[in-house]
Amino acid sequence: MDQAATEQDVLAAAERWRKEGRKVALATVVETWGSAPRPVGSHLVIDDKDNFLGSVSGGCVEGAVVAAAGEVIASGAPKMLEFGVADETAWKVGLSCGGNIRVYVEKVD
């Protein structure tokens, strides 16, 4: 993960990877509640070899989004993912202070 990548870098990578013939999914933070590490509009691009650029959260959430992206690439069907935890377990999955996020994952054609 390269958190120094800008949103423009992530979207440019999605376009470039598609032109290279890679199968690609794009994950976008569409909603947050409470404390969330990344704002609405944050992106993560994932290819069919589990390479990725950008960030939608960090921690275990990012791993779950990469796994879901593989399913989206294979099926072509988009997914809405929702993550939320209690305050005492928040740090374990990368959502500080019990935040909740909703992430939309779609195949890029």
- Model pLDDT for residues 54-102, shown as the tens digit of each residue: 999 877 788 999 999 999 999 999 999 998 765 554 555 554 556 788 9
Task: Note whether residue 20 is domain-resident.
Answer: yes
Chain-wide mean pLDDT for the chain?
86
β-partners of residue 52 are: 46
Task: Note whether residue 32 is domain-resident.
Answer: yes
Domain span including residue 18 = 7-108
Task: Note whether residue 42 is domain-resident.
Answer: yes
Strand 52-54's sheet: what is its strand order?
Answer: 52-54, 43-47, 24-33, 100-108, 79-84
Task: Note whether residue 2 is domain-resident.
Answer: no
Task: Note whether residue 1 is domain-resident.
Answer: no
Task: Note whether residue 72 is domain-resident.
Answer: yes
Number of domains forming the structure of the chain = 1
Tell me the Ramachandran region of residue 43: left when phi exceeds 0, alpha when psi lies from -120 to 50, beta otherwise.
beta
